Structure 1
Amino acid sequence: MKQLVVFIALIVNVLPVFSQDDDNPVLWSHEVNKISDTEYELVMTGKIHEGWHVYSQFTAEGGSLPSEFTYLKAGEDYELVGLTGESKTLTEYSDIFEVDETFFKKEAVFTQKIKLLDKTVRQVDVDLFYQVCKEVCIPADVSFNFSLDGGSVRLEEKTLDERSLTLGNSLQLNLKNKELLNTRGEANVYADSGLWTIFGLGFLGGLIALLTPCVFPMIPLTVSFFTKQSQNKSKGIVNALLYGFFIVLIYFLLSLPFHLFDSVDSQILNTIATNSWLNIAFFAIFVFFAFSFFGYYELTLPSSWANKMDAASTQVGGFLGIFFMAVTLAIVSFSCTGPILGGLLGSTTLAQGDVATNLSAGMSGFGVALALPFALFALFPAWLNSLPKSGGWMTTVKVVLGFLELALAFKFLSNADLVGHWGILKREVFIVIWVVLFLLMAAYLLGLFRFPHDGPKQKLSPTRKVFGLFSAAFSVYLILGLAKLAPLNVLSGLVPPDFYSVFEQESDCPLGIDCFKDFEQGVAFAKSVNKPILLDFTGWACANCRDMEENVWSDSEVYPLIKDKYVLISLYVDDSAELPVDEQFDFKYETGRVKTIETIGQKWGTFQTLNFGAASQPYYVLLSPDMEVLNQAIQKTDVSSYRAWLTTGLSKFEENRLISVK
């Protein structure tokens, strides 16, 4: 939670600007100085790019994360002599954390003396976790491999062993007709509409936020302030419109760091979205959000932030003063908007597309919805008289949002369960939990129980009764789906897939289709039966993948094409299962960055990026067994486009087969 608060604070107070040179802000090297036959000094040097800084090991608690060293096999092969030393540091007071922070600029040098306990040891391995910052902060880690046989080895010049080179080269495909992958056609048009869908979800979230007690009362107060305090009516309208623009800008800025993360590593956002422990953390955060909506405690940012922004808006005046007023609104409304923004972030990561772009679209939609009434009521102030009065109905809105937050929380827990293959939240268990949640929401809306912050008991409104009955009806729908009496296709991607069941299934592939989860095995089979390949880059926690499988693949014309005409190879890029030790290796990108491939998901995620220049799922490619691309690559699309795409690829394969026979 602290990291979430810090993240928002950083973005609210600054506008980060990044360049291509910032993609690798610290270049590390290391060397060994021999003191005696058993004593050595390890030296680790980081050259820090202009404008960036790295935090000391000893920066104050309660501030940014300190640098932290892990000395592997310390106490076993060698012992540490004293603490890890540091070069000259700088100390400045942080207005955000309200502590003195200690950090390096331009260069950071760490030294550590060691004494060997085993004189035969010839290598010492050290891991460093650090935070490098420039308006926003990037957590990073680096490994140093010290050779005690003399000389220094520069980290950026690290060479790979023969096994890593062989396994890394095996990931590279010699694709024929590769240029066809990047062509665009009707099948890809639907994918672009996904941004508008995300924008729409953000807009809907913003509209819901308007109905909360943190935002709704601010509308008439703020609009009246602009229209009455300005020198003339037109000036008041301009100021109100500018205020709305700044609201949109602030929420858009919240998404910018995710673009930076994506430029550092194309797989990083996918890794974050599908990491089991991070999904568990999201589960805990969303439960925390939910109970704040239920009224058990208030979720707020430090009041000093709002006071400072409010004071700044008064002292500065003009355009900048209006900007600080918009920042103040974002801060004081956080107790209501924070959980909704968290839900938007969760929905975006679950979408498995280009997370950074999706998040920008969603945040922009949220900001537009939040800003819209300030602009409209400034243009048409008479409309203020038609606004409903604040009251208990806003508390009801918060409670409903609390139940929805809980439902989304279990989706994150389900992600962790799917990726980790724990078997705890199977499809049936998940649906039962949702049934209970929506029945409880129905009971609350129908007045059967109350929460601590509910006002005096009043007669239920017709609207509340309707929503209560709708929630009960949704629970019944879930029960029918659980009993296989109704399809749950509208919930594809939200509930676990059919094959992840408490009951034994014939196949763990989508729709029971025979599939391969290893590329080489699938290609070998395709060659033996002389069929084209449907290469499916997917994920256990990929919502759009489930949507495609359950609503497009299940089509009466699409299903037989996949089942009978193609060899399906499904590669799960978020599979956390470890590769056998002899299949783990280091992969070196063209940029020189080395990535350790330890899990199945890391292998196939790197494989996808390396050969197809993509990092999102679902991502579909049609190949012949001899690696000829048969059609453009596509992502999420509709039934007719997908059917046409499969048919075109099949025709191309048959055409090539006839030519080869002649």
Structure 2
Amino acid sequence: MHWIKRITLYFKQMKSKLFFLIVLLLSVFSLQAQILEPVKWNTQLKNEDNNNKEIIFHAKIENGWHLYGLNIPEGGPRSTRFVFEKIQGAILSGNIHALNEATTEYSPLFELKLSWYSKSADFSQKIEITDPKQFSISGYIEYQACNDLTCLPPTKYEFQLGNITEIEESNNTTNTDNEMRMNVFTPKVKNNHTDFWTPVINEMNNIGENSVGTQTSLWFIFISGFIGGLLALLTPCVWPMIPMTVSFFLKKSQNRKRSIIDALIYGLSIIIIYLILGLAVTAIFGASALNDLSTNAVFNILFFALLVLFAVSFFGAFDITLPSSWTTKLDNKAETTTGLISIFFMAFTLVLVSFSCTGPIIGTLLVQAASLGDTTGPAMGMFGFALALSIPFSLFAIFPSWMKQMPKSGGWLNSVKVVLGFLELALALKFLSVADLAYGWHILDREVFLVLWIVIFTFLGLYLLGKITFSHDSEIRHISVLRLFLALISFSFSLYMVPGLWGAPLKAISAFTPPLHTQDFSLFDGEVKAQFTDYDEGMDFAAKEKKPVLIDFSGYGCVNCRKMEASVWTAPQVRQLIENDYVLITLMVDDKSSLPEPIEITENGKKVTLKTYGDKWSYLQRYKFGANAQPYYVLLDNKGYPLAPSYSYNENVNKFVSFLETGLKNYKENKK
């Protein structure tokens, strides 16, 4: 029983980390296209005498939110922490302390007393000036904000104080507190179009926001994970384990009711294990890094190579396995323990034993979910995968007689692996295409991509008909009806893509193929092309032509952007409105082309250098509109102010037409 005590101690030590994972899961579900900032900081420098001064950090907290206090004991949530990174011409006098009293309550979850602030909080740090001319202090505040429903991930606010000057009294101004404020850098792009960059976040909120795409994407990831879990069931590593595991539960307990409960807990344990894996991906990479992964060339090429490796593994060249010692140890733990811990170890053993088959599917799913840039994606994908994987174990435990009707293991399971290998190979090209588009290499344009997919799915059809075999395949004496229909689907899909070589839109796969404009030869003339890919130039042109503007924040790696362009924009009524009544400006937030000159801005108290056009347009979206998701469509007048609520991912053509007509109507009324 010694190891059980060690596990109990381990989970106590992990309490704060588990809390962080739960916080992260809840927070990413609550975040929509808008950027939440429930805590706003303000920094002041007050005089006490010539050399002694006091830095006041003031936090304004939105209603319903709270800010954790200082020095929360280890094992609790994240404390508010002040870090002074660089100090010149001054020394700190004493420690930072709070000026107002925090609310303190005992938390049963952490078995600790926790303190927090609501509405506002003030903190003080006294300093002694040693050299006024060289005085400079910079650092950051690390804090966490929560409300009754969710918590945001730990956030940093960077501050900088310097350039001390004497405050002179005058007849027109007085300052009873004798305050000196920090230098505040206003975000501003160094060009001649600052009027067009004026933030309109309040105006957007006043007319109402419309965020559609996030939930749709999450459902897509969940369904993809669920389908992946169903496919994993049909692999040689998982299928044979269903009757073995269910029989174990039925034999372990003479009470059938107890056996069913144990099997249900077993299925729930599988879900928890995979859900933790999905959360770990988000925790490791971070929310902002996931969006960068979607277009980073190095990562996309690694993803491409990884999926090709998975495909080769499924073709039978080698097996991806974990050390056998891991599964042996877990199996021994499951046999020597009892209760819930024993069932959990059994579920963990299944996960490791089946890794050679499920690993490539899980890897593909995590790569796809992470590349979408959605912080919830990996967790949602793993939840769908685990749910599909756990259902049979629970159902067969409840209805054991069903197992007699299950098809026995055989060569068909290996055929499933090979089919998955072809699908992995096709998906790998998607990631290579993203890197190719973002960096403008032009090695995988649309016609090249389509040719490769046509070949892959033609070979898949030939394999299903038994015309191509691998060394580990069983002999096929006749073609089953299922294989015949799958072969017909594969050949039909290949034929469907053939017209795309001459420019056919291929709306069914528009989310995966490169944009139509990358194709060298095209007979299709229904594509809607942006008049401008530069915001300032487009706004100048629209002002001269006296036309409203449609801003399209897009990305080369944005799947839903491609769907909108192929399914909605090509509709005659939408295309007519865009081309005749609007100036379309498409801004790629992942464009890796370098700016002529880097642009220095200050965002959230931190100096940032914009080096690429993608950096510039991504900053524009955050700074002017307070949003950071794509696709994101907004209609502007000739002064850069919104004409209608924003629009995101929704393939309803009538709604998009209504969106455009509303903006056009408001533009005409404003002119009057």
SS of alignment partner, residue 316 of structure 2? coil
Of the three residues 187, 194, 208, the one matched with 2:231 is: 208
Deviation at 1:357, TM superposition (A): 1.9
Q: Which residue of 283, 292, 296 corresponds with 1:271?
A: 292
Q: 1:29 aligns with which of 76, 81, 85?
A: 85
Pairing 1:516–2:507 present:
no
For 1:181 and 1:22, locate their aligned partners in 2 and report how far apart those are by CA, in whole Å: 36
Residue pairs, 1:49-128, within 5 angstroms: none
Structure 2: give runs of 5+ residues left out of the alignment.
1-10, 24-67, 69-76, 89-152, 154-180
Q: Secondary structure at the match of 1:195?
A: helix
Give the match's secondary structure for 2:552. Answer: strand
2:218 is aligned with 1:195: yes
- Cα shift readout 1:530-570 (whole Å, capped 9, x = no counterpart): 22211111011212111100110111111111111111111
Give the 3 Å change call, closer, same or farther, for CA 298–598 of structure 1 in structure 2.
Answer: same
What is the deviation of 1:347?
3.2
Q: Against the structure 1 CA distance between its residues 23 and 394, is the aligned structure 2 distance closer, same or farther, given a 3 Å change threshold? A: farther
What is the CA distance between 1:520 and its match in structure 2?
A: 1.4
Scaled by the length of structure 2, the TM-score of the pair is 0.71
Residues in 2 aligned to 1:448 and 1:23: alpha-carbon distance in whole angstroms: 64
Check if 1:326 corresponds to 2:326.
Answer: no
Secondary structure, in 3 states, of the residue corresponding to 2:584? strand
Alpha-carbon deviations, 1:413-446, whole Å to 9, x = none? 1111000100100111111111111111111111
Query: How is 1:534-545 mapped onto 2 (pairs within 5 angstroms)?
Result: 534-545=550-561
Residue aligning to 1:291:
312
* Inter-CA distance 162–374: structure 2 relative to 1 (3 Å threshold): closer
Cα deviation code 1:106-151 (max 9, x no counterpart)? xxxxxxxxxxxxxxxxxxxxxxxxxxxxxxxx9xxxxxxxxxxxxx
Cα distance in 2 for partners of 1:379, 1:427 equals 50
Quick one: distance in 1 between partners of 2:599 and 2:351?
46
Distance 2:355 2:234 in 1: 14
Q: Secondary structure at the match of 1:534?
A: strand
Q: Write the distance in 1 (CA, Å) between the matches of 2:647 and 2:208.
A: 9
Matched, 1:622 2:655: no
What is aligned with 2:252? 229
CA drift of 1:291 comes to 0.3
Q: Which residue of 2 aligns with 1:571?
A: 587
Residue 30 of structure 1, CA deviation: 5.8
The 3 A distance-change label for structure 1 pair 334 and 242 is same
Q: 1:17 aligns with which of 6, 19, 23?
A: 19
In the alignment, residue 199 of structure 2 is paired with which amino acid?
A: L
SS in structure 2 at match of 1:620? strand
AA matched with 2:19: V
Q: Following the alignment from structure 1 to structure 2, what is the Cα–Cα distance between the partners of residues 162 and 179?
A: 21
Partner of 2:381: 362
For residue 335 of structure 1, report the CA deviation from its aligned partner: 1.5
Q: Which residue of 2 aligns with 1:500?
A: 518
Q: Secondary structure at the match of 2:550?
A: strand
Equivalent in the alignment of 1:80: none
1:552 corresponds to which residue?
Answer: 568
| Residue aligning to 2:329 | 308
Cα distance, 1:22 vs. partner? 5.7
Q: Identify which range, 512-521 or 552-561, moves more after superposition.
A: 512-521
Which of 263, 269, 287 is the equivalent residue of 1:240?
263
Letter of the 2:613 partner, please give it. I
Does structure 1 retain, via aligned residues, the 8 Å contact 2:560–2:631?
Answer: yes
Task: Look up the match of 2:302.
Answer: 281
Is 2:532–2:586's contact at 8 Å kept on the other side of the alignment? yes
The change in CA–CA distance for 1:297 and 1:30 in structure 2 (over 3 A counts) is: farther
Q: Is the 8 A contact 1:176 1:628 kept in 2?
A: no
Q: Matches of 2:188 and 2:336 in 1, distance apart?
A: 61
Output the CA distance in 1 between the equivalents of 2:364 and 2:398.
32
Deviation string 1:451-496 (CA, Å, 9 cap, x unpaired) is: 1221344333221122122212211111132234x54110112111
User: Aligned runs of 1:390-429 on 2, under 5 Å?
Assistant: 390-429=409-448
Aligned equivalents of 1:536 and 1:384: distance in 2? 54
Partner of 2:205: 179
Q: Which residue of 2 aligns with 1:585?
A: 600
Please name the residue that 2:404 is paired with.
385
Q: Tell me the residue number matched to 2:614.
A: 601
| Larger displacement relative to structure 2 (464-473 or 409-418) | 464-473
Amino acid at match of 2:388: A
Which piece of structure 1 moves more, 166-175 or 541-550? 166-175
- Cα distance per residue 1:174-221 (max 9 Å; x no partner): 45622146534xxx5575344323222211111111000111111111
Query: How far does the alpha carbon of each residue in 1:582-604 deviate from its partner, in whole angstroms, 9 at most, with x for none?
Result: x3325332xx4443321111221
Paired residues in the alignment total: 519
- Over 3 Å counting, the alpha-carbon distance change for 1:625 and 1:241 in structure 2 is same
Show the counterpart of 2:163.
Answer: none
| CA distance in 2: counterparts of 1:26 and 1:305, whole angstroms | 43
* Mapped partners of 1:234, 1:312: distance in 2: 24
> Contact (CA 8 Å) 1:165, 1:587: kept in 2 or not?
no
Q: Confirm or deny: 8 A CA contact 1:181 1:633 kept in the other structure.
A: no
Q: Which amino acid aligns with 1:250?
A: I
Aligned partner letter, 1:29:
E
3-state SS of paired residue (1:214): coil
In the aligned structure 2, how far is the partner of 1:279 from the partner of 1:543?
14
Distance 1:522 1:612 in 2: 17
Contact kept in structure 1, 2:282 and 2:378, CA below 8 Å: no
Distance 2:420 2:183 in 1: 53
TM-superposed deviation, 1:169: 7.8
Shift of residue 372, structure 1, vs aligned partner:
0.5
Residues 261 and 639 (structure 1), Cα distance of their counterparts in 2 relative to 1, 3 Å cut: farther
- For 1:618, give the aligned amino acid: P
Contact 1:200–1:365 (Cα < 8 Å) also in 2: yes
Q: Distance in 1 between matches of 2:530 and 2:621?
A: 22
Q: Which runs of 4+ in 1 moved over 6 A?
A: 23-26, 157-165, 167-170, 504-507
Match of 1:256 among 279, 286, 291: 279
- Give the SS at the match of 1:655: helix
Distance 2:523 2:187 in 1: 38
For the pair 1:632 / 2:645, whether they are aligned, the reply is yes
Residues 621 and 281 of structure 1, relative CA distance in 2, 3 Å threshold: same
Shift of 1:652: 1.8
CA–CA distance in structure 2, aligned partners of residues 391 and 426 of structure 1: 41
Mapped partners of 1:455, 1:24: distance in 2: 63
- Identity, % of aligned positions: 42
Native 8 Å contact 2:630 2:648 kept in 1:
yes
Cα 1:207/1:514, change in 2 over 3 Å = closer
User: Amino acid of the residue matched to residue 246 of structure 2?
Assistant: V
Residue 393 of structure 2 is aligned to residue 374 of structure 1: yes
Aligned ranges for residues 430-469 of structure 1 at < 5 Å?
A: 430-469=449-488
Tell me, what secondary structure is at the counterpart of 1:183? coil
Deviation per CA, 1:297-350: give whole Å up to 9, x if none. Answer: 001122232223223323332112211211221122111112112222343345
Report which stretch shifted further, 570-579 or 602-611. 602-611
Query: CA 1:297 to 1:259, structure 2 compared with 1: closer, same or farther past 3 Å?
Result: closer
Kindly report the root-mean-square deviation, in angstroms, between the aligned alpha carbons of the 2 structures.
3.6
